[in-house]
Amino acid sequence: MHVGLHHAEKRKKAGKATTFDHFMIVVGIIAPIALIPQAITVWVDRNVGGISLPTWFLLSWVSVMWLIYGAVRKSPALFLSNLLLTVMNIIIITGVLMMR
């Protein structure tokens, strides 16, 4: 019996995307879509009342950190969702700064 070969087999399989990985990519696309109504409120309705810039800056920073982590770990789901979240956060922050 070769000691440790079972780990090599697990590592080999780790590179393949599973159904759950594909599902999480879809979830990663849906999450930023949830921010579209907020962006519309800011950009179309020009209503920035009740929007906390410190909160959005913090959310943006967190998204960027997860984006970097997803890139380092080569996780398409983490990378894609946080790239889209970062873009949406920047759109909202920019709108709030321009409307105030």
Model pTM score: 0.80
User: Of the candidates 60, 53, 55, 61, which has an alpha carbon nearest to the alpha carbon of residue 99?
Assistant: 53
Q: Exposed, middle or buried, 64 (CB in 10 Å: 0-12/13-18/19+)?
A: middle
Please give the pLDDT value at position 4: 57
Domain residue ranges in the chain: 18-99
Report the mean per-residue pLDDT for the chain.
89
CATH topology of domain 18-99: Monooxygenase (1.20.1280)
| Span 13-61, pLDDT tens digits | 566 889 998 998 899 999 999 999 999 999 999 999 999 999 999 999 9
